[in-house]
A and B are shown apart, each in its own frame.
Chain A
Amino acid sequence: MSLLFALAGNQNSGKTTLFNRLTGSNQHVGNFPGVTVEKKEGPVKKHPEAVVVDLPGIYSLSPYTSEEIVTRDFVLQEHPDGIINIVDATNIERNLYLSLQLIELGIPMVIALNMMDEVRASGNSIKVKELSAELGIPIVPISAGKNEGIDELIDTAIRVASQKQKPLKYDFCEGEVHKAIHAIAHIVSDQAAEAGLPLRFTATKLVEGDEPTRNLLKLDEDQKHIIDHIVEDMESELGTDREAALADMRYTFIEKACAACVIKHQETREQLRSEKIDAVLTSKFWGIPIFIGIMFFIFWVTFTLLGEPLQNLMDKGIQLFTDGLASLMEMAKISDWLQRLVIDGICAGVGSVLSFLPIIVLLFFFLSLLEDSGYMARVAFVMDKLLRKIGLSGRSFVPMLIGFGCSVPAIMSARTLSSERDRKMTILLTPFMSCSAKLPIYGMIIMAFFPTHRALIMISVYLIGILVAILSGLLLKSTVFKGNPVPFVMELPAYRIPSPRSVLLLMWEKAKDFLRKAFTIIFMAAIVIWFLQSFDLRLNMVTDSSASILAQIGNLIAPLFTPIGFHDWRASTALITGITAKETVVSTLTVLTGAATDAQLAEILGTIFTPLSAYAFLVFTVLYMPCVAAFAASKRELGSWKGAILTSLYQTGAAYVVATIVYQVGRLFIH
């Protein structure tokens, strides 16, 4: 018999760690249908018949965020055989708030009481048996980090689910709320059964004023009227509104249960330690300098200390592989065009992207340290004010900053943001942060046109990227992403030492993700670009690249760039190949101009661009759609081709408009 488990719990409750413990590295990562909410699932270790799905970290089953709605839909529609609810024992009151709502779903359930080691080490304790009796469901004390209690948790979950042992209690209310829930349950029992909804959940949600639940029921006007009346009575008796009444009802029950079962002499050591650490890390004076210092350190290690040598090593490895392959094919007398496809097309194309792997893995190493230690939430706290005006929260700050290194991990790291709207906006805006692969382009243009104004040009280009991101944020906030942003009400979890296991697993996961992209989308793109570069319209192989299909396309679209100040097929072709990887813009221009030295290249560039149009060209390259690897990452994170294509169109459109403005306005001043 196969069993399906849902793993639910608050953010920062150790859910990911527990999920890793339950499934080992045997995980399938995807998205829930139609939303950019991550869905992970995998078979339970040693119990292949049991599959566990990791639901998003949420605090309540309210109908407001896509994470909460996904959780509700999953539990109500997929009918899991059991719910494993992870509860942070050091923060038990707030964690049990979700538990009470999950219990109402009437599905066999077990609570995994996590971080019990910390509770005990601080001299506090929880009477597990008594609490279990209060809640009417089994509770297993565990420590996901120390791998304690996991086997017992699995056994209990499987027992409860296979025996279909539903929660024993649903009544956590008293007085007026109790009366209202019971009266409404009585009225809607038929409709709830018809709609396949658990009765208790339905009744509570109706009292709470939950629109989605109300819409699922086929209630007649009379029933609606009576329900409204019951709720109004309750509200006037209590002197408060329905939502506050139910939140109060749940917390009152929890406070009572905790007073009886939780023995707490002091905050845990981790909490006390966190307060001391925060006295420095989020202090008025040191908060921002320390954050800047940490980010500089991360960038220095990633790009200079380790990234460059590793990238060179990777390049050498790829070169060796390519050379070996080339001589093998030579020996096997494989036809010329196939050799060129493999060497010039696939090896060169995929290779140039693959050499970014070390940087991406390193960045994810640091990102997971920031996230798992609890520091990422502090960054959000410190930087929130800066991002608020463009409709984002401080949570988006680090992904955007990583964008200055490489858009790929930046887009991938948007997954840790807790709201879908923020994720989408961050994915869209991050590529405006000029990535490191664009540096060779700036170098080339500066060398040719502005050798004495290096710093000025660089800074202005970066600033234009940031400015366009800000303007886009303002624009999107009032159009596509109109409506209330998800409120910034965020927990600052206690600092914890990240588990090496989780960090390694995440790095491996992201590396795999990137490699998969490299050998699918990027592989295809490399072949397509190679084909366009190597053949003419009659499908004959060309020796002179100016006769290739790509050159024809470059020629065809060249007039489009007249408003930006350049009208040359070599420039437009370079912009197209730049989509495979940004630094390709430089190599394409070098090849197409036939320049043998930098000085020659500079000279020929002088015939293609004026200094002003060269600058407009730079502005265009900063802003237009990111490389295929970043495109593939946004396709994966947004969960749709449409989203990724629209995003790229927007970015390219913004590039076109801004570059045109730069050129046309510039012309008014420079003759």
Chain B
Amino acid sequence: MTLDELKPGSSAIIAVVGGEGALRRRLLDMGLTPKTRVTVRKVAPMGDPIELFLRSYVLTIRKDDAANIELVEGSVEKAVKK
């Protein structure tokens, strides 16, 4: 599953951050690194972008960009194994 598919209110662990260049680097820099737990808080009124909660702060990214982030549900251990 990818981050854009995660339902508002639910959370999961990041497995892989895909994409390339400036965007991918920005996602990593902002703390969206593998093994990090991220919650989708809500979707903007027009259906995009989405609001995330991670590392005790709130971040917003576009759905297209969120599609580059693969998730595992459940615990950190599972993410490491993958």
Contact = CB atoms under 8 A, between A and B. Distances in A.
A60 interface: yes
A172 interface: no
Contact of B33 (A92, A244, A381): A244
B56 A288 contact: no
Nearest to A59: B29
Interface stretch (A302-310, A354-362, A482-490, A647-655): A482-490
Contacts of A490: 59-61
B55 A94 contact: yes
Contact of B23 (A97, A388, A489, A493): A489
Nearest to B65: A487
A81 interface: no
B71 to A, nearest CB: 15
B28 A247 contact: yes
A383 B43 CA distance: 12
B70 to A, nearest CB: 12
Interface in B27-44: 27-31, 33-36, 41-44
A274 B22 CA distance: 29
Interface string B40-82: 0111111111010001111111100100000000000000000
B33 to A, nearest CB: 5
B51 A381 contact: yes
A383 B65 CA distance: 17
Interface hub of A251, A377, A382 (most chain B Cβ within 10 A): A251
A283 B41 CA distance: 11
A282 B41 CA distance: 11
B22 A64 contact: yes
Dominant secondary structure at the B interface: mixed
B: contact size bracket: 35 or more
A484 B22 contact: yes
Given A243-B25, A382-B46, A488 B33 contact: no
Contacts of B41: 275
B66 to A, nearest CB: 10
B23 A247 contact: no
Interface string A379-391: 0111111101000
Contacts of A244: 17, 28, 33-34
A64 B51 contact: no
A502 interface: no
A422 interface: no
B9 interface: no
A35 to B, nearest CB: 16
A20 B38 CA distance: 35
Interface string A80-95: 0000000000111110
Nearest to A380: B60
Contacts of B33: 244, 247-248, 251
Nearest to A91: B57
Contact of B56 (A91, A486, A487, A493): A91
A563 interface: no
Contacts of B47: 385
B55 to A, nearest CB: 4
A284 interface: yes
Nearest to A98: B29
B14 to A, nearest CB: 11
Given A244-B17, A487-B22, A489-B23, A97 B62 contact: no
A262 to B, nearest CB: 10
A93 B55 contact: yes
Contacts of A323: none
A492 B52 CA distance: 9
B58 A267 contact: no
A491 B28 contact: no
A283 B30 contact: no
Given A62-B25, A243-B25, A251-B31, A384 B58 contact: no
Contacts of A240: 34
B65 A489 contact: yes
A64 B34 CA distance: 22
Interface of B: 17, 21-31, 33-36, 41-49, 51, 55-62, 65
17 contacts: A59-B30, A64-B22, A93-B56, A94-B30, A94-B31, A94-B57, A244-B33, A264-B56, A284-B42, A384-B44, A384-B48, A484-B22, A487-B23, A487-B61, A488-B49, A489-B27, A491-B60
5 nearest CB pairs, A to B: A247-B28, A60-B29, A64-B22, A487-B23, A492-B58
Interface of A: 59-60, 62, 64-65, 90-94, 97, 240, 243-244, 247-248, 251, 264, 267, 271, 274-275, 278, 282-285, 287-288, 377, 380-386, 388, 484, 486-494
Given A288-B45, A487-B26, A491-B30, 12 more contacts: A62-B26, A97-B31, A244-B34, A251-B36, A282-B44, A283-B42, A284-B45, A377-B60, A381-B44, A489-B27, A489-B30, A490-B61
